[in-house]
């Protein structure tokens, strides 16, 4: 994701121009800010489905690699474990 491809709206602007925000989400991710800080994202539904499918597939691969002890883990627990292993920093 390239920063120049993102669209930014304050909450007030997003509320006032919501139809435009939704239309723009088809071609670019839309970041909603509160006091200049990102708080939400509006993305195209097709992208949402693809991201969730990717997450499911990634979880399945993780479970295959981790073995039976990982089957009972919730996805959130896996993220916490990954966060601990990476020192809390995301590579980008």
- The SS3 call for residue 77 is helix
**pLDDT tens readout for residues 48-81:** 999 988 888 887 776 666 666 666 667 677 677 7
Backbone φ, ψ for residue 65 (5° rounding):
-75, -40
Q: Say whether pLDDT at 88 is over 60.
A: no
Give pTM, 2 decimals: 0.61
Torsion-angle region of 40 (φ positive above 0: left; ψ -120 to 50: alpha; else: beta): beta
* Rounded average pLDDT over 2-30: 92
Pairwise pLDDT comparison (75 vs 20), residue with the higher score: 20
pLDDT of residue 81: 72
**CB distance 6 to 29 below 8 Å:** yes
């Amino acid at each position: 994701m390239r920063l120049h491809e993102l669209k930014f709206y304050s909450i007030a602007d997003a509320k006032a121009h919501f139809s435009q925000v939704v239309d723009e989400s088809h071609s670019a991710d839309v970041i909603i800010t509160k006091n200049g800080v990102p708080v939400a994202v509006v993305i195209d539904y097709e992208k949402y489905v693809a991201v969730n499918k990717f997450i499911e597939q990634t979880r399945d691969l993780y479970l295959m690699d981790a073995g039976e002890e990982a089957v009972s883990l919730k996805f959130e627990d896996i993220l916490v474990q990954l966060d601990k292993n990476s020192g809390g920093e995301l590579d980008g």
